[in-house]
Amino acid sequence: MRELVGVALALALLVPAGAEGADGADEEVPADAVPVVEGTYLRPNVELPDGRWAYVHVTPADMPWRIAIGRPPRPPKYGSTTEAREVAIEAMRDWEKAIQPELPWFQLEFVEKDPQAPVQVKWKRRMVGSWAGFGRMTWKVGEEGVRVGGQMEISTTPGRFTTLEIDEVRLLVAHEFGHVLGLGHCLDCDSAMNYSWHTRDRVAVTDVDVRTFLALVEKPNGDAAVPAPTAPGHADPTTELSEDRLP
Ligand SMILES: [Zn+2]
C-alpha cells in the first residue's frame, strides 16, 4: 500500500508534463531496455519523475469513457462536416468493437459537447507545421486511483493545400485514438498504429492492435516496474508529441 501511494504521488507530480509527454515513450525507450510482450508493440507510456517508466491505461472505473466530439469547421473532400464527425466516431467504435469481445467493460460514449468529458476531440482549421493530427493520453490521480482521459486534435484541412478525404479522416482518427488509449507506434505492423497511416491500404484496427491494448491493460496501472533506460542523449518527452506528419 505504501508503494501505491508513492506511485500515485509521482503520477500526480507528472500531470502537467505528462499530458504531453506520454507518447514520447514510444521513441525514447531503447528496445533492448524494455520488456516487450511477445506479439505486441507494447511500450511503457509514462516517464516518472525518477526516470523510471510505467504503464498507464483505462480501467472499468473510467467507463463508459465519454468522448466529446463536434463537427469540424470545414468538410473533408467529397463529404460533409456531419459525415466527418460520423466517420471519426466509427473509427473509435472500431476500437471498441475489436476490444469488447475480450473486455466487455470497455465502452465508449459519444456526445457533441461536454467540457467535463475525459476525452476531448478538437477539430482544427489548420495544424501547425505539417502535422495531420495528434492524440495523447492524459491522467490524474485522485482518491479513486488513476483516472485516464485523452486529447485529440484533428483537421480535415491540415495544410493550406491539403484536404483529407473521408477515408483518410477515418484512418487518422483510428490512429490518434490509439495514442489516446496509451499506445505508441508500430512501424513494422499491419496496424492502425503504423506511422505511415496514409500510405497503407489496411483495415483501421488489427489483431496486433487489440493484443497490444490487452497487454497494456494487464499491466498494473501506474506501476513503475520498468528500469530506467540507459541510452545517452535522452530527449525531454514533453517535446515528443504523438503528432503525425503529412506526406
Ligand atoms: Zn502517431
Which top CATH class is 2-219? alpha beta
The pLDDT of residue 64 is 98
**How many beta carbons lie within 10 A of that of residue 139, not counting itself?**
26
Is the distance from CB of 23 to CB of 136 less than 8 angstroms? yes
| Confidence (pLDDT) at 208 | 94
**Cα-to-centroid distance, 132 and ligand 1 (Å):** 10
**Cβ within 8 Å of residue 206, ≥6 positions away:** 189, 190, 191, 192
CA of 49 to the centre of ligand 1 (A): 24
Distance in Å, CA 157 to ligand 1 centroid: 18
- At 149 the pLDDT is 95
- Ligand 1: centre distance to CA 200 (Å): 14
Q: At 8, is the pLDDT very low, low, confident or very high (cuts 50, 70, 90)?
A: very low
For residue 204 the three cell numbers come to 483501421
User: Separation of 122 CA from ligand 1 center, angstroms?
Assistant: 16
Residue 189: closest CA among 176, 177, 207, 172: 207
Give SS3 for 106.
coil
Give the distance (Å) from ligand 1 centre to CA of residue 175.
Answer: 6
Measured in Å, residue 91 CA sits from the centre of ligand 1 at 15
Q: How many Cβ atoms are within 10 Å of 114's Cβ, its own excluded? A: 15
Q: pTM of this prediction? A: 0.79
- What are 132-190's pLDDT values in tens digits? 788 999 988 878 788 999 999 999 998 888 899 999 899 999 999 999 999 998 888 88
User: Tens digits of per-residue pLDDT, 22-60?
Assistant: 333 344 455 554 557 889 999 988 887 778 888 999 999
Q: In what order do the strands lie in the sheet with 108-111?
A: 108-111, 65-68, 119-123, 145-154, 131-142, 243-245
Average pLDDT over residues 116-128: 94
Residue 84 Cα to ligand 1 midpoint, Å, equals: 20
In the reported structure, the alpha carbon of residue 247 is separated from the centroid of ligand 1 by a whole-number distance in angstroms of 13
pLDDT of residue 34: 56
For a pLDDT cut of 90, what percent of the chain falls above it?
Answer: 49
CA of 182 to the centre of ligand 1 (A): 11
